[in-house]
Chain A
Amino acid sequence: MTPLVELKNISLSFGGVRAVDNVSLDLHPGEVVGLLGHNGAGKSTLIKILAGAYQMDEGEIWIEGKKVNIQSPRDARRHNIETIYQTLALADNLDAPSNLFLGRELTNRFGLVDDAQMEAETRKIMARLNPNFKKISEPVSALSGGQRQSVAIARAVYFNAKILIMDEPTAALGVHESKMVADLIKELKAQGLGIFLISHDTREMLDLCDRVSVMKNGALIGTEKVGDVTEDDILSMIIMGKARDAA
């Protein structure tokens, strides 16, 4: 089966620092691949290249068997790649519908933004994802962390993302809200989306992911199926920076 995403030999340097060093990864439909590593290991930089926020120096991105050129977040969206960031995702001063449709507003026949239609669509999708979500027309600054995250996830779901990038989606959330996001991830996976997940919580990763890839100092240490490894194996990969077989 053709992988949904293939990242081939990706490198990116900032000044003299090789933030991402010759990394290759793939992702299949209905699969969750976790990225683990210390702060500064290059996980976020790598997925930001896929999301179009950074441009790589070397390497290739293939999507569904075709080589693609991603220069901007707009390009990434064109390839059905949606990104959910820990903090950067929402404009606090706007309400949930405006955020959900940001950059892709629905318009009426005069070309004007159709707020009522967007609100109706938001109500529909929120009823499915997070039935407790009531503050539709308030600025998202008034929402809790979990509610904000569900707005970001709703954005990905509404626009039929095939590839979802989640950068620490539960970092700012409480226990119940983290559970809600975890359930959502499982549901999206069951729908056949491919998901790249970044988290510091190793246990959560082993629970949610099919495979985990460990990075250190910009380089890929190794990729393992979660069934084949223990939490300790992963931790030693993160800390020692050595692939399991070599250990």
Chain B
Amino acid sequence: MTDSSTAGTSTRPSAAKPKRSFLTQLEIDTRLLGMIGAFILVCLVFNVLTDGRFLTPRNIFNLTIQTVSVAIMATGMVFVIVTRHIDLSVGAMLATCSAAMAVTQTDLLPKMFGLGLGHPLTPWVAIAVGLVVGAFIGAFQGWLIGYLTIPAFIVTLGGLLIWRNVAWYMTDGQTIGPLDDTFQKFGGINGTVGETWSWVIGIIAVIVALWALWSSRRNKVNHEFPVKPLWAEALVGVVIAVGILGFVAILNAYEVPTARLLREFEARGEVMPDNYTAAYGIPYSVLLLIAIAIGMTVLAKRTRLGRYIFATGGNPDAAELSGINTQLLTVKIFALMGALVALSAVVASARLTNHSNDIGTLDELRVIAAAVIGGTALAGGIGTIHGAILGALIMQSLQSGMAMVGVDAPLQNIVVGAVLVLAVWIDIVYRRRTGGK
């Protein structure tokens, strides 16, 4: 950083125009910037340690699809923690949802309605069943917490035992698979949109993002609010565009292995042309995560429900005195958490291509860690959706990076645990320095 302070003191325009640093002019959250920096650092260090194997399109692709399941749940956990609750049961709920969906598509639908695996309705009915189960379990736990005022820690600790074993009971502990082919497309590598569509989606995303920036600026100008300088707005726009298109380019650079392509052509009874290549592109699971992230961010920032969630987290008494029904709010938050767990269960079981008895084990800790590393304060009132997703990405990078380097499994967990504690400490120091809560 060059010395802008001398320039500021020498000219010193007027007291009404305080000197503004580069970052404040950009109006970028320094905390977010720090997290992105930490993430890049982790990636670079592992890239060196693995002789460049960490930052390959293949590994980035894998990292992305491994993160999705935890990241989806982490977005819901933000709301739970923001309202000063906790949900320890998400891993167990994931198992119950996954079991319900697996039983639906392999047992219930074929026996009761004659819809076998591969029937076009099967995956969607199964997902609907999962969503209903997840939302219902969540709502029930939310009711116990909100209306019967049992602490969330206890309700969901009980839930951890209950739902894990409900799943076991439903399936007799057996692995159920393979799951429906269309259902499996939500798992990651088995379902990607391909090269062309990835570019189309990427370009649409850039257009939408730039339009959003522009319309938000226009809105501020209409109300005569201060806006950031045009160069800052443009820089943010360029960074976003490069980020989106760069991500698409990386996913498109991961090419489908020739052997797999040969098999696919054989299955269709065609002959593969010489020198034919195809890339995976964006996985459906990642699109799902992005859609959820956008939806949850809009919910958090632009709806009354979101406003009430944050107000209740900041001051439950004030929220109640403002006429907010905090009990019903708790039910809604936990029901939403449950529905997100169900979507996570779709991704997780589709990725494994089956439902196994231990699916989602310890996910509650990963999800809570992701939300907390992502800046969600356990004291309530503070947290962001994008932060939680970035938190999940950092956790997953650490885990798979250490696995690639060949760190022993127990040491991996020790490091992840230590990083969690360290991240929260850094966050506390940061908030104290910046005068936040």
Residues of A at under 8 Å CB distance from B? Answer: 51, 53, 72-74, 77, 83, 85, 88-94, 98-99, 102-103, 105, 107, 111-113, 115-117, 119-120, 139, 141-142
A113 to B310, CA, bound (A): 14
Known: A91-B314, A91-B315. 5 other contacts (CB 8 A): A93-B310, A103-B322, A116-B225, A139-B436, A141-B436
What are the residues of chain B within 8 A of A90 when measuring CB–CB?
Answer: 315, 318
A228 to B423, CA, bound (A): 65
Instruction: Check B406 for interface membership: any CB of A closer than 8 A.
Output: no
Instruction: Check B437 for interface membership: any CB of A closer than 8 A.
Output: yes
A116 to B222, CA, bound (A): 9
Instruction: Check B108 for interface membership: any CB of A closer than 8 A.
Output: no
A-B pair number, CB within 8 angstroms: 87
Q: Which 8 A-B pairs have the closest CB atoms?
A: A91-B314, A93-B314, A93-B381, A74-B323, A103-B322, A91-B311, A112-B302, A102-B322
Instruction: Tell whether, in the assembled complex, residue A113 and residue B304 are in contact, meaning their CB atoms are under 8 Å apart.
Output: yes
- Chain B, residues 311-328, CB within 8 Å of chain A (1/0): the string is 111110111111110000
A16 to B225, CA, bound (A): 56
Residues of B at under 8 Å CB distance from A? Answer: 219-220, 222-223, 225, 298, 301-304, 306-308, 310-315, 317-324, 381-382, 435-437
Instruction: Tell whether, in the assembled complex, residue A91 and residue B304 are in contact, meaning their CB atoms are under 8 Å apart.
Output: no
A130 to B319, CA, bound (A): 24
Instruction: Tell whether, in the assembled complex, residue A116 and residue B382 are in contact, meaning their CB atoms are under 8 Å apart.
Output: no
A74 to B436, CA, bound (A): 31
Which residue among A77, A91, A105, A142 has the maximum number of chain B CB atoms within 10 Å of its CB? Answer: A91
A119 to B223, CA, bound (A): 9
Instruction: Tell whether, in the assembled complex, residue B220 and residue A91 are in contact, meaning their CB atoms are under 8 Å apart.
Output: no
What are the residues of chain B within 8 A of A105 when measuring CB–CB?
Answer: 304, 307
Instruction: Identify whether the interface residues of B are mostly helix, strand, loop, or mixed.
Output: helix
A98 to B300, CA, bound (A): 13
Instruction: Tell whether, in the assembled complex, residue B223 and residue A73 are in contact, meaning their CB atoms are under 8 Å apart.
Output: no
A117 to B317, CA, bound (A): 26
Q: How far is the CB of A79 from chain B (nearest CB, A)?
A: 12
Instruction: Tell whether, in the assembled complex, residue B220 and residue A72 are in contact, meaning their CB atoms are under 8 Å apart.
Output: no
What are the residues of chain A within 8 A of B320 when measuring CB–CB?
Answer: 53, 73
Q: What residue in chain A is nearest B323 (Cβ atoms)?
A: A74
A25 to B382, CA, bound (A): 42
Task: Select which of B298, B306, B319, B437 is within 8 A of A102 by beta carbon.
Answer: B319
Task: Select which of A53, A89, A98, A119 is within 8 A of B307 by beta carbon.
Answer: A98
Instruction: Tell whether, in the assembled complex, residue A93 and residue B382 are in contact, meaning their CB atoms are under 8 Å apart.
Output: yes
A94 to B320, CA, bound (A): 15
What are the residues of chain B within 8 A of A111 when measuring CB–CB?
Answer: 303
Instruction: Tell whether, in the assembled complex, residue B437 and residue A92 are in contact, meaning their CB atoms are under 8 Å apart.
Output: yes
Pull 7 A–B residue pairs with CB atoms less than 8 Å apart, ordered by A.
A90-B318, A91-B314, A92-B437, A93-B437, A102-B319, A103-B308, A112-B303
Instruction: Tell whether, in the assembled complex, residue B314 and residue A85 are in contact, meaning their CB atoms are under 8 Å apart.
Output: no
Residues A88 and B315 in contact in the complex (CB < 8 Å), given A93-B381, A103-B323, A116-B225: yes
Residues A88 and B302 in contact in the complex (CB < 8 Å), given A98-B307, A102-B311, A103-B323: no
